[in-house]
Amino acid sequence: MMDIHQILKQLPHRYPFLLVDRVLEIDKGKRIKALKNVTINEPFFVGHFPHRPVMPGVLMLEAMAQTAALLAFDLLGQAPDDKTVYYFAGIDAARFKRPVEPGDQLIMDVTLNRMKAGVFKFSGITYVGDVIACEAELMCTMRTIA
């Protein structure tokens, strides 16, 4: 379990780009389950779409990547510092199965498949209730910046 205060210590993202509200489960080095409450106050709903608010698919992928980062940091036993950035390196097999709307609660279920030479490969599934909203394979890497 990890609350928003612990998440803020781990992830550099801030409003409106922090897309993880709570970690529900973490199996060190294997799997993580986190949630994002989707509200009508999200800034992207103003334009996506005014007549029918829908969460952009890329933001569901970003929520999975942020969840994956929390799993990676937990595995490594470290939080990123000001000289470390955690980047997306690739996305494969992304599929969007259901629109996500205000009032939904996203549950991101992310599994670490492999870690080699600072590159992490994950499988992620995002649910609303018991229904899959999004799934993808994610590749992420940590880089030191000057």
The catalytic residues are 48
How far apart are alpha carbons 138 and 111 in whole angstroms?
10
Residue 25: phi and psi, rounded to 5, are -145, 150
| 3-state SS, one letter per residue, for the chain | CECHHHHHHHCCCCCCCCCCCEEEEEECCCEEEEEEECCCCCHHHHCCCCCCCCCCHHHHHHHHHHHHHHHHHHHHCCCCCCCEEEEEEEEEEEEECCCCCCCCEEEEEEEEEEEECCEEEEEEEEEECCEEEEEEEEEEEEEECC
